[in-house]
Amino acid sequence: MSVIIEFVIVPLGEISLSRYIAEVVKLLEKKGVKYQLTPMATIIEVQNVGEGLEIIREAHELMFGMGVKRVSTSIRIDDRRDKERRMEDKVEAVLEKAGRVEN
């Protein structure tokens, strides 16, 4: 089974966040984590909650390593254990119900 986790890391006091989020993306790619970057958050698909929280902890600490003095991190966890599904499945289900087909 997989767990889908959405998280938002905000280095407080910074106006432009893209350089910070780019470092989070590098971390995710280095770890081989499946992710989706959205305009407002990052979504990861991992094997279990512990793995996801450890990755987010590393990303949170990464901000301090970049010189940030205060960081706010928000996390939402979707841990469904009755069937296997992927991030894409959730989006496809909604689009199907809306009468749209996404390629």
Number of independent structural domains in the chain: 1
Q: Is residue 24 part of a domain?
A: yes
Task: Going residue by residue through the chain, which has 103 residues, state the pLDDT in tens, using 9 for 90 and above.
Answer: 799 999 999 999 999 999 999 999 999 999 999 999 999 999 999 999 999 999 999 999 999 999 999 999 999 999 999 988 888 888 888 899 998 866 5
The domain that contains 63 carries what CATH number? 3.30.70.930
**Residue 102 located in a structural domain:** no
Contacting residues for 68 by C-beta, under 8 A, at least 6 apart: 11, 12, 13, 14, 20
Q: Is residue 103 part of a domain?
A: no
Tokens of 92: 């496809």
**Residue 27 is part of which domain span?**
3-97
- Which are the contacts of 59, defined by CB distance < 8 A and separation ≥ 6? 7, 9, 24, 27, 28, 73
The pTM assigned to this predicted structure is 0.88
